[in-house]
Amino acid sequence: MSRGPFDGTAAPPTLRSALGRFATGVTIVTCYDADGESVGLTVNSFTALSLDPPLVLWALRVESPSLASFESAGRFAVNVLGEQQLELSRRFASTAPHKFAAGRWSAGRFGAPVLAGALAVFECATTSAQRQGDHVVFVGEVLHSTAHAGPPLVFQSGRYRSLGEPL
């Protein structure tokens, strides 16, 4: 096991392995494209940015076929998944067609599809989309949010995980 400071020379697999040690929640980020079709994908690069004003951010690979839809949509929703939504997460992480055929989806109040039964939903207006390295970082102002109790779906070291009992 190697230890020491990151010197910028780590190979991508080494860096990916180190970054994977950080556990994250799992979300499905959605929007409507220019034709009014639902677009969505599994994202674990989601985080809160500010409470005042209420801002969140997430990142999408530059090579993603969904990038143009999110850049032009102006609105998006972040649907935070619970443990019971593992298969939905896998579906939206794949290239499977008709992703929205699974789950109970409806039009949100602010212009993006929202998932019934999600632990939390953040309906947002895009305030910024900036290319940073091989990703575009989207910042959104939260226009509406909901939250429900339940165990979250967690991703760590390339695998889905369950949380144990609270400490």
Spatial CA neighbour of 32 closest among 62, 81, 68: 68
Q: Is the pLDDT of residue 59 over 50?
A: yes
Residues 109-161: pLDDT tens digits?
Answer: 999 999 999 999 999 999 999 999 999 999 999 999 999 999 999 999 999 99
Band of residue 1 on the pLDDT scale cut at 50, 70, 90:
very low
- Residue 165 resides in a domain: no
- Residue 136 resides in a domain: yes
- Residue 15 resides in a domain: no
Domain ranges, residue 111: 23-153
Q: What is the 3-state secondary structure (H, E, C) of the chain?
A: CCCCCCCCCCCHHHHHHHHCCCCEECEEEEEECCCCCEEEEEECCCEEEEECCEEEEEEEECCCCCHHHHHHHCEEEEEECEHHHHHHHHHHHCCCCCHHHCCCEEECCCCCEEECCCCEEEEEEEEEEEEECCEEEEEEEEEEEEECCCCECEEECCEEECCCCCC
Looking at residue 7, its pLDDT comes to 58
- Residue 3 resides in a domain: no
| pTM metric for this prediction | 0.90
- Residue 84 resides in a domain: yes
CATH number, domain of 124, equals 2.30.110.10
- Residue 7 resides in a domain: no
- Report how many domains make up the chain: 1
The residue ranking higher by pLDDT, 35 or 5, is 35
- Residue 29 resides in a domain: yes
Residues 60-92: pLDDT tens digits?
Answer: 999 999 999 999 999 999 999 999 999 999 999
Looking at residue 5, its pLDDT comes to 54
